[in-house]
Chains A and B, each alone.
Chain A
Amino acid sequence: MRGEIRQIHPRKGGGSPGEPIPRRLAVIMAGDIAGYSRLMNIDEEGTHARLKRILREVVEPTIAEHHGRLVKTTGDGFIAIFDSPVEAVRCGIVIQQSMVGRNASVPAQQALLYRIGVNLGDVIVDSNEVFGDGVNIAVRLEGIATPGQVYISGGVYEQIKHKLVCGYQSLGDRQVKNITDPVRVYRVLPDPAAFMETQKRREIGFVVLASIVLLAIAGSLWYTMRPGRDLNVARSSAPAASAPETSRTTESAAAIAPSAAPAISPQGTSPASPQAGSFSPATPQGASPQPASPPSASPSVKEPEMAQLPGGSFSMGSNEDPSEKPVHQVAIKPFALSKFPVTVRQWNECAAANACEFTALGDENAPVTNVSWTDTKQYLGWLEQVTHKPYRLPSEAEWEYAARGGTQTKYWWGDQLQAGMANCKNCVAIASASADFPAKVGSFRPNPFGLYDMGGGVDQWVEDCWHRNYQGAPNDGSPWMDGDCVSHVIRSGSWKNDASYVRPANRDHYDTGVRYPTHGFRVALSP
C-alpha cells in the first residue's frame, strides 16, 4: 500500500535534458493509518469512507491552516510539505488531537490512528510528487511512530526546541534503510505533563474504554430515537431556540422594505434627512443594465433592494482603537450597497435552490445569521447566477464609507450615543428583541445614504483579509487581500455587542470558514 511512496520515481516526462532539477529544503510530513489493512478486512467500505472524511475534514484543512501543502495521498497515507518546522510539528499535533475527538465515537478496535513522521531535508518537488532522501526519512519516522503520535528527526528538533513549548523524548539513533548516517529520533509530547501521565495511563485506559462503550450504546440509541432528523437543518443556526418566533412572523410578510418609522422615535435631535443616493422604494434599480433574457433559473427571485452611493473621498479609521489607526484618506468609486443585511428569506431562496448549504431559522425578515465568510460566497455565486449581475461583498473601505453616510463623527448621527438608533446591547432595550435573534432588518433609522443597520444588528462580513491596523492599507477603496487570509474582517458589531461596536470605524475579525450566531452580511454591486 505504501510502496509507491517509498520508492523514488524517475521524474515524469523526463523534462528537457540539462534542465536543472529544482531542489529545495523543505519540512516533509508523512502520515499513515496504523493497522489499515486489518481495518479494511473488518469493514472495507466503512473504513474507506471514514478515512476519506478525515482527510477532507481534518488533514487537508489542518495542513492548509499551517501553511503546508498536501502533495499526495495514497490509500491510507499522505505526504505534505511545509516551509516552517514549527508549523509542521504544530500541524502534526493538531491532527493527532483532532483524531482523539473523532475516535471517541467509535469502538477502540475500529479507531483510526495516524502515525506521523516529520523530517527536514533536501527534496525535489514536482506538482504532485516529492522525492529525495528527506522524504524517505520522514516515511521511516512515520513507520516507527507509535499510533497517535508524532515522531520528528533530530534536524527538526534542533529547529523547534526553543520555539515550540512541547515535551520531547529522545528515542536515540535509528538506522534508515539505504541511508548511511543514523537518524536521531524524538517523540513529540504535545503536553509536557504527559510525561508524568504515562504511569497512570493503564488505569485511565479502562475507564475511558468503559465510558466509550456505554457512550456508543447510548449514542446509537439516541440517534435512532431522535425526533425530527432533518438533515438539511443539521448545521444551521439558532442553537437553543430551534422554532422561529411565531409571534413576529405575522407583522410584515410582504416586502423586506420596512416603513421608515423607527421602532422607537428618538428624542431631541433628528438625523439629517436622507439626501444622497436614489431611494426608489419599490423597484430595485441595479446599476448594470438588465440582461436581454430574463433569468430563467428562478424568475421569482427578488433582487436585493440596493442604494446607489455616490463616489467620494473620506477619512477612514479613528484614534479610538489601535486597529483603527492610522486615519487615512480613501477614494471610493460610485457603487451600490444593499439597504439591508441579507435576510433569512433571501438566504432560504438560495438554500431552496440547493445553492446554499443550510436552511436558516428565525423570522423571515430578520437578518440571516450563523454564516461564515465562505458561506457568503455560496450565496453571492447563486445570486449572480440568477440575476446575471456580479453581486459581491463590499470592501472594508466601502463599508465604512457607506456606514458614515458622509459624516465624520463618532456615530453617523453625531458624537453622542442616542437611544433608538441601533440594535446593540446597551444602545436601548427594544421590547421585541430576543436574545437568540437580532431585530428584523430596518427596525431602526436609515443613515444619510438610506442604509439600514450599518452598525448593530448583525456583524457583517466584508471582502478584506484581516490586518491588525491600517499600516499599508490601499487608498482606492479596493479590498485589502494580501497577507494571511485565514481570517476576514467583520464590521457593524451585533445586537450582542455594546455601543462602541456600533461606531462606523469599529472593526473586528473572525476565522474565514467558521460560523458564529451573530454574523451576517450585505451585498454590493459595481456599476
Chain B
Amino acid sequence: MKLVRLVMLGMVLAAASSYAAFAQGTPAPKDAALYFIWPLDGATLKGAFWCRFGLRNMGVTHAGDTFPNSGHHHLLIDVNEPIDSKEPIPQDKSHLHFGAGQTETRLELAPGKHTLQLVLGDAKHYPFNPPLISKKITITVK
C-alpha cells in the first residue's frame, strides 16, 4: 500500500516536471517548507535587525538557474495582495528579491507593526506549484 502511494507520488511529480517546460508552475517537493528562522512571529524589535530565511527539503540557488528542487528567496513586507502564481513575483520596495542566493537580509523598517512573508521563486521569479510560501508573521519595530 505504502509503496503504491510512493510510486503515485513519483508519477505526479514526474508529470508536474514535464508540465513545467511549457508553462510556469515549477514543481516543488511536497515536504518542502519555507519559514523564518528569525525574527519570530509577534517579536518586538529595536531598530534595524537581521531577517533570516529557512528552507527545508529544497536548495537555494541563483535566479536564472533551473536546477530541480531549488529556488531563491523573496521577502514580502506589508503586502496584502495574494501572490499571483501566473505572474513573476513583483519587484518593488515591498517585494525584495534575493536572486544571488542570499539566505538573510538586514532590515530597517519604520517604527510600528509590520508583516513579513517569504515566497520561494523559480529561475524566472515565478512562484512554485504549489506555491511555497511561509507563514505571514507580524512584528513590531520600536
Contacts and interface: CB of A to CB of B under 8 A. Distances in A.
Contacts of B63: 511, 514-516
A508 B62 contact: no
A68 to B, nearest CB: 14
A516 B65 contact: no
A254 interface: no
Interface string B89-106: 011110001111111100
Interface in B37-80: 37-38, 52, 54-65, 67-70
Interface in A362-411: none
Contact of A193 (B56, B68, B69): B56
A517 B88 contact: yes
A211 interface: yes
Interface size class of A (residues with CB under 8 A): 35 or more
A513 B10 contact: no
A65 B93 CA distance: 22
Interface string A239-254: 1100000000000000
A176 interface: no
A208 B59 CA distance: 14
B7 A210 contact: yes
Given A100-B69, A101-B61, A235-B64, A501 B92 contact: yes
A207 B18 contact: no
A239 B126 contact: yes
A214 B3 CA distance: 14
Interface string A304-347: 00000000000000000000000000000000000000000000
Nearest to B103: A94
Nearest to A222: B18
A511 B69 contact: no
Contacts of A207: 6, 9
Nearest to B67: A101
B124 interface: yes
A212 B37 CA distance: 28
Contact of A496 (B24, B61, B90, B93): B90
B91 A65 contact: no
A65 B61 CA distance: 13
Contacts of A219: 14, 17-18, 68
B58 A101 contact: yes
A518 B91 contact: yes
B24 A240 contact: yes
Contact of B59 (A61, A102, A204): A102
B91 A510 contact: yes
A98 B59 contact: yes
Nearest to B110: A322
A126 interface: no
B29 to A, nearest CB: 7
Contact of A514 (B9, B37, B97): B97
A468 B102 CA distance: 18
Contacts of A510: 91, 97, 99
Given A211-B29, A214-B14, A101 B88 contact: no
Contact of A104 (B6, B69, B91): B69
A165 interface: yes
Interface string B6-27: 1101110111011001011000
A255 to B, nearest CB: 31
A421 to B, nearest CB: 20
Nearest to A61: B62
A215 B60 contact: no
Contact of A218 (B9, B14, B124): B14
A522 to B, nearest CB: 19
Contacts of A214: 7, 10-11, 13-14
A516 B14 contact: no
Given A65-B101, A501-B92, A510-B97, A104 B59 contact: yes
A218 B60 contact: no
Contacts of B61: 98, 101-102
B59 A100 contact: yes
23 contacts: A61-B101, A90-B104, A94-B60, A98-B59, A100-B70, A101-B59, A101-B68, A165-B37, A191-B54, A192-B37, A204-B57, A214-B14, A219-B18, A219-B68, A235-B64, A459-B91, A497-B92, A501-B92, A508-B93, A510-B97, A510-B99, A511-B63, A517-B125
6 nearest A-B residue pairs (beta carbon): A101-B70, A101-B59, A218-B14, A100-B59, A514-B99, A214-B10
Given A61-B62, A99-B59, A215-B68, 15 more contacts: A65-B101, A93-B103, A97-B70, A98-B70, A98-B101, A100-B59, A104-B68, A218-B14, A219-B17, A222-B18, A239-B88, A240-B86, A514-B99, A516-B88, A517-B125
